[in-house]
Structure 1
Amino acid sequence: MNAAAMKKTTLGPSGIECSAIGLGTWAMGGWMWGGADEAAAVRAIQASLDAGVTLVDTAPAYGLGRSESIVGAALKGRRHEAVIATKCGLVWHTREGTHFFEEDGHPVYRYLGRESIVHECEESLRRLQTDHIDLYITHWQDGTTPVAETMDALLALKKQGKIRAIGVSNVNPETLAEYLRHGPVDAAQERYSLIDREIEQTLLPLCAEHDVAVLGYSSLALGLLAGPIDPARQFTGDDQRASNPRFSAGNRARLAAFFETLEPLRQQLGCSFGQLMIAWTLARGSVSVALCGARVPQQATENAAAGAIALHDEALQRIDAATATHLHALA
């Protein structure tokens, strides 16, 4: 794809411009994805940049710093080409807050206290090999810390030039409204795909009212929407899809029928099923950025190409009809 054909968007009041397709790096950290190949991940990030993707999304929790370190290595010499989004609020350096999960033998807590955020930011800057983070996002919300304290810390980091914009993730409308009472929020990162549309009725109206950009993560629903899945395929190790009911045999059959219905449209547009699903996400107008995970260059390049696909109304209607027919019973 010609990188110049990539759709662009702006991250809320910050005015930061980025690509409408973003690269998600959760899988690159290996955790919950059955491991990862760091060299291939570095090449995937660089291939994304070559294809016009400028937003690279990561987090300390993705492999306990591993994903951030991979992003830092990949962007060496190319930092100016990227808009880096990373996160805070899932910590293993303290046991304050609320215990959330275990990762590689470390208890991880939800915590958004002032001192912890400052510590996390410094660690992220070090791993990312940069002097600033473009978009700093509270990863999961912490019921033990007042939002006012969290925002105070984020606004101080912004004033110091260590972050350029403030984001929130996995947040309900009430908590977002509380953030907005204490300062500008540039972006909200939430799950959104053809089969995950709850935020259309809950969070999106508030985001639209306050010019908060929406970054939709899991645009391909953990790969479920990337195309037909071989019924014999097994997910092994700590790969979360092994125990996810959405990847059941029954759902794979429903998805196979769904994709078969859309095969003529896919051929007409000359794209892959994954690209069609990503293009649908952007065409809906619900999200500013569709975040798509990739672990190898081919995946990254294919996802990026969806940023140049324009879906007409008839195509959207055909996709919605196929969804209603085949995916209404998706578990």
Structure 2
Amino acid sequence: MKISAISKRLATVGVATALAAGAMVGATATSASAVTGANTYTCAVPTAGNVPFPVNVSIPNLDNVNSLPAGFGVAEGLLNLGADHAIDLAIGVPAALVPTLSGLGVTGLSSPDMGFGFGSQSVPVSGLTLTGLVPQGDGSAIINAIGTNGAFTAPEAGTYDVTMPSAFTMVLATTALGAVPIPCSTADTPATLKSIEVTKNDSVTTAKPVKATVAKGTQAVVKSAVTGGFNTATGKVVAISGGKKVGTGTLNSLGKAKFKLAKMGVGSHKVLVKYLGDGYRNVSKAKVFTIKVVK
């Protein structure tokens, strides 16, 4: 197995282990209190029109997620930590609508598109399952459900808010009508559950000349590659000799570059190739090599 593949596996194990211990990569442990959020959604209920539904969410293990490495693929159910779910959902049903739901015979709940905001992406809620329809003293009721995190990938480095959904479709499984889709949206700003820092990964740059000795007037050619992180490196590498930039290469879809150096005078020239970094990984330098120019 390649070193890069081993590193990724170790990182995956490390993230899961750190979460279980009470902290994500590079983060300090926090209290075991749950992360919570709430918004009221206007839901288009068949025959009843637009009805307000208060929705409360609790994600206990998210309290321990303080940071993630950029580009890291979070597996579905990682936040469960051995339990059968990671997300607790409570949906308030107005008293006027409770008889309708009772008449429909609600037996299940799902959502094909519920997700929590994380930067510009949506982290899907997977396996949403009804656990109860609990009557309240004022005639209203609470739909209780559980779910887990769907798979997602951490974005580029930065600090991102985890937010409540801006909209979702609630699908009730009923004995009377089968599946009843109910689209819901909020006019309010989705509540922020917490902020998570996404950090850059270390990179490793290698570089070598195609030919270590070239004739005067000939441009030396350099091959360079950048590894590290959880996706392919992007961006540029620059070659420096005698304190001056003598070449630039752009990484291809494999994280590699092949580029020419400026013409050099007769003699030996030490060359340093430096990777400039991207949104997922830090700057790094290759080992210095020598180009010999002969007459």
Normalised TM-score (structure 1): 0.23
Structure with the higher strand share, 1 or 2: 2
Normalised TM-score (structure 2): 0.24
Higher relative contact order (CA 8 A, sep 6+): 1
Structure with the higher helix share, 1 or 2: 1
Bigger CA radius of gyration: 2
